[in-house]
Amino acid sequence: MKESNTISWNEFSKVEIRVGTITDAEVFEKAKKPAYKLKIDFGDQGIKKSSAQITKRYSVSELVGKQVVAVVNFPPKQIADFMSECLVLGVVDDDSVVLLQPDKVVKNGLRIG
């Protein structure tokens, strides 16, 4: 029987998942696995940087202006010479990622809950 990964509502409520718009994207040359460096506008939460391994399904040009869903309250993580400040969420499909995003444009910084 598979072990349960159940968490409490209180644990889940600590995770800040918010909507933001990608304002800049570039190839992350120093990443071990193919990735992009993203700048994401989270409205009142500010601009945050993220390293995202989404190169198989997305080009740099199609990312700018796209709204995404991300966890914004993890501690920053050093990846090569880059400090990633949030985790962009996506569906892992074999060896590629499909980004999670609202189906309509919403205000940057709104919390998912």
The answer to whether 77 touches 88, Cβ cutoff 8 Å, is: no
| Tokens 């501690």 sit on residue | 75
* Local mean pLDDT, 10-residue blocks, the chain (113 residues): 82 95 97 96 97 96 97 96 97 93 97 90
Give the residue extent of every domain in the chain.
16-102
Q: CATH classification of 16-102 is 3.10.450.630, yes or no?
A: no
What is the pLDDT, as a whole number, of residue 1?
57
What is the pLDDT, as a whole number, of residue 2?
67
Maximum separation of any 2 CA atoms in the chain, in Å? 46
| Tokens 């939460």 sit on residue | 45
Cα separation of 54 and 2, whole Å? 30
Mean pLDDT of the chain: 95
What is the pLDDT, as a whole number, of residue 113?
80
What is the pLDDT, as a whole number, of residue 26?
97
